[in-house]
Amino acid sequence: MADLDQDDYTLPLEAVMASERRYSVPLKRVDRMELFDEWVSLNPEAMRDMERAAISIDARGMRVSAKYLIERERYESGIKLNPVTWHDDNGTPHTYGINNSITPLLARWLLRRHPYMHIVTHKSYFDDKDDGNGEV
């Protein structure tokens, strides 16, 4: 997110809070999940495209691969993908976009929407309720 003008009082509270969000590096499980959710909200066209492709693959009786859907979106869709900018504890900006680390999150997103979809998931740290630091 871009830095906000501190004297601009017209912005909604959510926009101000989002601009001030800082994450520690390496990102924790909950931080990655939050960034994924924000990425999903910024890229509805890409998510619809991946979901349609997954439904089509599943309807043909084939196993859906989240990794394939990501690669397809990157190289074949032509849809402009919007990254999420976030800042670390030092204020250094980073971008969160479509990359291989979202594979388990995408697979679980699809399964929440289509519980009977034939998509194989592997054990992931996104399955655990504890991120190893005692935080959920």
Residue boundaries of the structural domains of the chain: 13-113
Nearest to 27 by CA among 86, 103, 73: 86
Tens place of pLDDT for every residue, the chain, 136 residues? 445 555 667 777 666 656 667 888 888 999 999 999 999 999 999 999 999 999 999 999 999 999 999 999 999 999 999 999 988 888 888 999 988 889 999 999 999 999 999 998 877 777 765 444 444 3
CA angle 118, 123, 124 (to 5 degrees): 110
Contact 100, 70 (CB under 8 A): yes
Based on its alpha-carbon atoms, the radius of gyration of the chain, rounded to whole angstroms, reads: 17
Total Cβ atoms within 10 A of residue 5: 9
Of the CA atoms within 13 Å of residue 66, those in its CB half-sphere come to 20
Position 133 scores a pLDDT of 47
Phi first, then psi, for residue 87 (nearest 5°) are -120, 140
pTM over 0.85: no
Position 131 scores a pLDDT of 45
